[in-house]
Amino acid sequence: MARDSLDVQRLKEMTGDDPLLAAEVLELFCDQAIEWRACLDSAAVPPGWVEVCHSIKGAAVGLGALGLGEACSTAEKLGRAHGPDAEGAALCLDRVRELLVASTADMGALRLMLRSEGAFPETPWARSS
């Protein structure tokens, strides 16, 4: 399966080309992802996954995890159009969870690299599997 690589250029733009700020923002996203993941359940009562997908989408796109943002957008649109109990919601949320896990792993690896090297990578970046 293809990895949801990060758009490091977008991350650089959003953090003013500051690798230490980028590392801090990535850490905050990874910490928040633990709570988000627990809310991504189509059977949850009350069903808050639509709002959670909206939150993840904004943060993910801002940090360059575009595939995750797109998956969240799809799930959010489904939930808003057909309600949180919509047919297909479980499948959409499975995809969001899968990309959230992959993206946080990539962000964690990039965060460590940014902290240790103090610079953004020169070439397009994706964590090796």
pLDDT 10s digits, 2-61: 345 789 999 999 999 999 999 999 999 999 999 999 899 877 756 789 999 999 999 999
For the chain, domains (ranges, CATH) are 15-113 (1.20.120.160)
Which residues, including other chains, have CB under 8 Å from residue 90's CB and lie 6 or more apart? 42
Q: What is the pTM of this model?
A: 0.88
Can you tell me the distance from the alpha carbon of 94 to that of 108, in angstroms, rounded to the nearest whole number?
Answer: 21
Which of 112, 126, 114 is closest to 65 using CA atoms?
A: 126
26 and 108 Cβ atoms separated by less than 8 Å? yes
- In the block, tokens 């479980």 appear at 90
pLDDT, tens digit, for every residue of 58-96?
Answer: 999 999 999 999 999 999 999 989 887 778 888 999 999
